[in-house]
Structure 1
């Protein structure tokens, strides 16, 4: 399977982006193709429905990769109880053609305890794009974010780090199972 992860932060070394990178590692370790599109490194023009924006290389690449994906992960920081503006802008550039019938996992990183408001909003957007929301989501917040900060060197011990990784791997495993099931229905054997 081809899993596309859209990292929706406009911040260098964002914990939500690093969480997406971790998902790439876990999914690749399961034998699937996973790639990350980082909106910080590859910014998109502001969505303007009256303007042709076909000549933007980042937008063209995002369109191609999202259409080719069997499943999608959307990763966002939670800002003021909502998804990031750059992620919303990217989603405005996309359509039902990119999401229809595809499983989508929502993940967030929040400065507070958890980023549930942004996840609820993502799920509403996914429904409107005819995607299939995964039955679980991933939200890290507060001290849990330490594992995904740029200064984390892997040798530090902090309370709950293994629990966070175990939870993320469990949710990703559930998402992959859903994705495999739906992909086999959409693409029968031999096609």
Structure 2
């Protein structure tokens, strides 16, 4: 039986009901269709404490359970999706803090897909910046990436934003296919232990 690659998706918006998280929810569905098991970590719902230098590489030293859990999930994952809104031409501080909780040993050689959201396509700067961080973590950013803008979303009454623009959905599909393909080619599928599509508790 083929083991499905596990993909850790980190939403870097500090706002509940964000466009960034909406993209990752759509991406999780796409990853399931591509044969992967996604786990969405929404930093708005599961915030992390500010990183402590003395705990780097030793997450067990943190008092906060979530700070201990994220590095374990990262080590278990076969691939990653990093997503952020554009803040002053860069990715969010909460995403940078989350990445600072990780060390290169947990991401080395693993594929990473990048997603950005902003008022216009200049939000591509988010992806440019994240590529530098991914490289520093010894991971591999896939060439395909997605940048969304407000017009790519619908806002149903009583609900949060939903990604509906056909072009954006098609591009998201390309990103998910590239990520799962690279995960299957370059890494060992991670051991089971994270249920598909669940958020961390």
TM-score range with shorter-chain normalisation? 0.7 to 0.9
Structure 1 runs of 4+ aligned residues shifted over 6 Å read none
1:10 maps to which residue?
14
5 Å-filtered alignment, 1:94-113, equals 94-113=102-121
Partners of 1:14 and 1:27 lie apart in 2 by 20
Change (3 A) 1:164 1:64: same
Describe the shift of the 1:170–1:57 C-alpha distance in structure 2 as closer, same or farther (beyond 3 A).
same
Q: 1:137 to 1:60 in 2, by over 3 A?
A: same
1:117 maps to: 125
Give secondary structure in 2 for the equivalent of 1:87: helix
Maintained 8 Å contact 1:113/1:142: no
Which structure is richer in relative contact order (CA contacts within 8 A, separation 6 or more)? 2
Structure 2 residue 69 is the aligned partner of structure 1 residue 61: yes
Partner residue in 1 for 2:149: 141
Where does the alignment leave 5 or more consecutive residues of structure 1 unmatched? Answer: none
The residue aligned with 2:175 is: 171
Partner SS, residue 98 of structure 1: helix
Q: Is the 8 A contact 2:19 2:161 kept in 1?
A: no
Change (3 A) 1:85 1:140: same
- Normalising by structure 1, we get a TM-score of 0.86
Which among 87, 97, 101 is matched to residue 93 of structure 1? 101
RMSD: 2.2
Given the alignment, which residue of 14, 25, 30 partners 2:34?
30
| Unaligned ranges ≥5, structure 2 | 191-201
Q: TM-score, normalised by structure 2?
A: 0.82
- Report the secondary structure of 1:82's partner residue: coil
Count residues in correspondence.
180
Verify the 8 A CA contact 1:110 1:141 in the aligned structure 2: yes
Deviations 1:33-79 (A, max 9, x none): 11101111111111121468522111111111111000011011111
Match of 1:180 in 2: 184
The secondary structure found in structure 1 opposite 2:109 is coil
Which of 84, 97, 101 does residue 76 from structure 1 map onto?
84
